[in-house]
Chains A and B, each alone.
Chain A
Amino acid sequence: MTATRQRLGLILSLLLYAAAVSAPLRSAGALADRSGCVEAHAVVIQLLMLAGVVGGLAVGAPAISGVQRALQAMMPGADAAQRAGYLRGLAWALILLSAATNALWVAPALNMALDAQRALLVEADVLLYAMGVLAGIGWHALLDRDGWLGLLLMPAMALMILSSGVIGRGWC
């Protein structure tokens, strides 16, 4: 990825984040939370996560290169295939962790508590974005140039959770 595309990716990521934390979306989410509905806030959360994934994909190449250098130094006895296997495992761990975090915030009670405490709400937003960045780096490690597929796969995974687990408390 060229420096220009990296910069564009980061700008896009920031714009998406700004949209996700914007007043209209936030009040829509809070309103839905108060009604005990899940999906509106879940969409906001998904947007935050996707913003992070875009950012992660943008910084993926230098981040992976740094991790590879560290692995080379830390695993002198291992060959390239072993190090690559280790990196893949780490990438999956990051993606699954992000997905788990994503699922954590779809509880209306949690979201209502966050809505009531601005500091916690901000922390949750930043945390979700950060988990998205980690997931983006993970997708880049797994799929390299095709890492953007993570942008499609992550919402799909989230939708599966939403549609199966919390279908009873959907859009209301």
Chain B
Amino acid sequence: MAVLNCHLCGLTAEPPVMAEGHAFCCHGCRELWRLLGEERIAELRTGPGLNWAALRAAPAEPVLEAGAGETATATLALDGLWCSSCAVLVEQVLRRTPGVLGGHVDYTASRAEVVFDAERTSAPDLQAVVQRLGYGARPDQGAAGDADLLRRFSRSLVVGLLVMMLSVPVWSGLLPTLDPPLRDALAYGLWLLTTPVVFWGGWPFLRGAWVSLRHGVPTMDLLVAVGTLAAYAYSAIAVLTGGRYLYFDIAGMLVSFLLLGRAIDSAARARAASVSRLLLELAAKEAVVIRAGGELAVPADQVLAGEAVVLRPGQKAPVDGEVLSGRSAVDEASLTGEGLPVDKVPGDLVYAGTLNQNGRLVLRALRVGGDTVLSQTARAVAAAQASKGAWQQLADRVVRVFVPVILLISVATWAGGHWLFHLGMAPALLRAIAALVIACPCALSVATPLAVAAAAQRAGRMGVLLRRGDAVERAAGVDTVLLDKTGTVTTGVATLAEWLPADDGLLALAAAVELGSEHPLGQAVVRAAEGRRLRVVPAEDFMALPGTGVSGRVQGRAVSVGVLPPSIEAPAALAAPAAEWEQEGRTVLWLLVDGAVAAALAVSDRPRPDAATAIADLRRAGVEVAMLTGDAAGTARAVASLIGIERVLARQSPLDKAAEVARLQAAGRRVAFVGDGINDAPALVQADLGIAMAQGSDIAVEAGQLTLARPALRSVPQVLGLARQTVAVIRGNLLWALLYNVIAVPAAILGYAQPLFSAGAMVVSSAFVLGNSLRLVGGSARRSVAAGLWVAGAAAVLVALAWWSL
């Protein structure tokens, strides 16, 4: 059977939603295509795929003049968004709704934010507009969405457990032997308890099934709803007609398990969305621009490229710009992770989201609005979050084929049983329902999310945060790890290693001039002096010479610390050790007193204590390791040799690093890049797996799929090992789920799926997936088996005590 691609978004259309000879992956794409028209869509095809950004920017027909009434904002939590088209469709329709002034739909977070004229429309009206499109919409209450699913799950589980426990007479076939009043009480009691589970707990599936039916797209919700309702309806009829078998317990547990899968999925999406929100909070909302000779405060997104922007102390930069005038220290921690502010002088670049500290700057806006590095990163993160792991995609595709197949099998079982094998209507129907119920893919639906959730928990204990759903799957295939040097392999904190002559007085002199410096090397000198409790007198006439060093007057003497001026030659007694220090990867500072070389100081950035072990672990796991750095070759090689890295690429620009990653990928390698600074962001994005140090720049953190919350490189080999284990567990889960169906469905068709068998099969199947996934958290299959045996043993003791009353 040919696999069709969606005419609009290009995703695989399985099964296709057809319209006027075109195939679409979902009704969202179909409706959007109808809404915009072929011509407009063609315009937006500026490259492979569809330019979603341009599409979203496409102006909707104006329906109201802004400011006609009092404006209000509504935030709606959406359900049933299938792909990006669905989000665009909802957004376009909302924006065309009378009374709406503007709106945005976040596909990742499944949330719509709408600004509207409160006199013309209302939040419930907008909710209804979305619902008419076939999507769920309710007022968004932040975490309440997850809480709602969890509430449904936990209450359904509690009641479902009770129903299961009360169903023992049904399973054991003793129901018909009970006295009629007792039998009725039990049967009606089970009915009563199951009703809220199916209709209240299972409401998300019932609603999804209704949408699925309306748009002719069979989804998992449809199978769940049909299975659950069939079991419920059959059991209800059996109660009324005195039937032997009741499936109330199956219906209840089915809903509970599927709610668990959905709640886990929802939690993962909420986690990802919160990271994106955090990034956007960095952006300044307002800017002060110079227009017509005066300063004017405007919204940040209204600044034009080339305009002069005033940045006062304490303000965040609203744009990426070049300093035209003024000097100030700017806190770039959000971009670079560097805790110390950076001096900015005319000609320097200032990035949006960074914090101006003490001086007034005037910037020329270079990149504004959505073009700033900050916005680009936020977009990249949002796009990345919308992605699904390959295994989850596979599970989704299997389900999309599986659902109609099972529905067909069920109908065929009923028809074949009744007409071909001359079974009565009731037995044939029972078999058809049993096939539906038993095939409901509880295990299939939770196989991947449960394993990923368990892996996320285990990774959390290792100090690793999973930023994307597919991070685990990406990590599993990695065979090459590239590491940045400063701040990644090394601590990123400079320390004064030694100085010659080793005279405290000379160190105090150097510290006196470095007191005014904010450079990490200068800070290292000051810290060393403080550590030795030296009396440091602040220098007079302090001057910082960028790229050279600092100078000042200390007790009447001219003192400078920094690189050696070309006109001055180092004395032989100092030149030799200084050369050695450079070979060892240290940075050499020269102390000049009254114009003469007085001392040489070696500043080093030490490798992390666990770096060598981490590299050795990676090697043992068969992973190739290399270091990429912007530093000089000598320094880089020295650090690499200390920790056992043989391949080193020095003097690498950010783009060089990304190019090296791409080169390795082209050679068939699966590359992970570990970095911490904004200069690592391109490589982090290019790599198959980006691993960012949490104390590094926010941009780097955003660019990576994994974040090392603790500065411990040993987490890298650990998490790669965990990822391999997780993918093995996911494979095992999926294989089990498929195997279960291969055995259970024929059993149901042949009439062997009695309630006890169905309940047992479902419990065993789900317990297998649960236990297999929990191996990732617990670490050993033996422990899981031991726990299971312990519980089974305790239950056996209870049963034995009750059976043979002492």
Task: List residues of A whose CB falls within 8 A of some B CB.
Answer: 14, 17-18, 21-23, 26, 69, 71, 73-78, 82, 86, 89-90, 93-94, 97, 101, 107, 109-110, 113, 117-123, 125-127, 129-130
Contact = CB atoms under 8 A, between A and B. Distances in A.
Nearest to B264: A74
Nearest to A26: B805
Nearest to B273: A77
Nearest to B154: A90
Given A109-B179, A117-B169, 5 more contacts: A73-B453, A73-B456, A93-B154, A117-B174, A121-B802
Contacts of B799: 122, 126
B274 A122 contact: no
Contact of B179 (A23, A86, A90, A113): A113
B639 interface: no
A73 B147 contact: no
B174 A22 contact: no
A129 B457 CA distance: 32
B177 A117 contact: yes
A126 B150 contact: no
A97 B158 contact: yes
Interface string B682-700: 0000000000000000000
Contacts of B456: 73
Interface in B497-535: none
A34 B684 CA distance: 77
Interface residues of chain B: helix, strand, loop or mixed (majority): helix
Nearest to A96: B158
Contacts of A77: 142-143, 146, 270, 274
Interface string B129-162: 0000000000000110011001100110011001
B654 to A, nearest CB: 32
B271 interface: yes
Interface of B: 142-143, 146-147, 150-151, 154-155, 158-159, 162, 165-166, 168-169, 172, 174, 177-179, 181-182, 185, 263-264, 267, 270-271, 274, 453, 456-457, 795, 797-799, 801-803, 805-806
Contact of B798 (A82, A90, A126): A126
A21 to B, nearest CB: 4
A102 B264 CA distance: 33
A118 B169 CA distance: 11
Nearest to A24: B805
B169 A120 contact: yes
B174 A110 contact: no
* Residue from B143, B147, B453 having most chain A Cβ neighbours under 10 A: B147
Contact of A75 (B150, B165, B166, B181): B150
A74 B260 CA distance: 9
Contacts of A117: 169, 174, 177
Contacts of B146: 74-78
A22 B806 contact: yes
Nearest to A127: B165
Contacts of A69: 457
10 contacts: A18-B801, A23-B805, A75-B267, A76-B271, A76-B274, A77-B142, A77-B270, A78-B146, A119-B168, A127-B168
B169 A109 contact: no
A129 B182 CA distance: 22
A120 B158 contact: no
